[in-house]
Structure 1
Amino acid sequence: MQKQAASCGHIRENPRFLALVRKRNRFAFFLAALIVMAYFSYILVLAFSPHWLALPLFDGMATNTGLLFGLAIIVLTVVLTAVYVRRANREFDADTTEIRRQALK
């Protein structure tokens, strides 16, 4: 147990760990900013141009642009989540395993 506690402090001071945390936080913030911009753009269009959201996609069609825009935001959220998971599995997890392995030497 003592060795594990010592290695946690050792990991937190590791420059590779600090670089990994910065890189992961930057990437997560970028993706979160994209989602927030998409949601706020929907709200702004709803507030300032609601008639645009009520336009039908095609003449005589009941489906409007607002529904399409809302679905696009949901799809964007799922896609960006998949992008994060893919990068985390390929890059961040490999770096984490290597940092942990070095700390336990």
Structure 2
Amino acid sequence: MSAEIYKRVRANPRFSELEGKRSRFAYLLTAIVMLTYYGMMMLVAFAPEVLRTPISEGSMLTIGVPIGATIIIGSWLLTGWFVNRSNGEFDQLNNEIIREASK
């Protein structure tokens, strides 16, 4: 990309829109993942008895296992959401900005 096209891309108001949308979305997903992981670590540190609780009477499986699995699967789903939105909305906006700057 030439320096002139780069300047036109940066000057385009839609570039600021793309940058803002992408950043806010990334920060939101980061906050969700961090809160769930650190929430789990806080439970481990300060209330381990909650995680030791059996799922049912006489069960060897504790409530901590499905909670941990949910956090991991939830992180995968959030990653998929980010990739889906990036490949759709963000790429479309990016292509439009580049097309406008190339004129």
Q: Same fold (TM over 0.5)?
A: yes
Q: Write the distance in 2 (CA, Å) between the matches of 1:88 and 1:61.
A: 43
Is the aligned partner of 1:31 residue 2:39? no
Runs of 4+ in 1 over 6 A off after TM superposition: none
Q: Which TM-score applies when normalising by structure 1?
A: 0.92
1:99 pairs with 2:66: no
1:72 and 2:70 matched: yes
Alignment of 1:51-70 (within 5 A): 51-70=49-68
Identical-residue share of aligned pairs (%): 38
1:12 aligned partner: 10
Q: What TM-score do the two structures reach when normalised by structure 2?
A: 0.94
SS of the equivalent of 2:53 reads coil
User: How well do the aligned residues superpose, as a CA RMSD in angstroms?
Assistant: 1.1
The alpha-carbon deviation at position 18 of structure 1 amounts to 0.9
Unaligned runs of 5+ in 1: none
Displacement of 1:58 in angstroms is 1.5
- Matched with 1:46 is 44
> For the residues of structure 2 that align with 1:104 and 1:61, how far apart are their CA atoms?
65
Alpha-carbon distance between aligned partners in 2 of 1:5 and 1:64, rounded to the nearest angstrom: 59
Question: Matched residue pairs, number?
Answer: 103
Quote the offset at 1:60 in angstroms.
2.0
Relative to structure 2, which stretch is displaced further, 18-27 or 52-61? Answer: 52-61
Structure 2: give runs of 5+ residues left out of the alignment. none
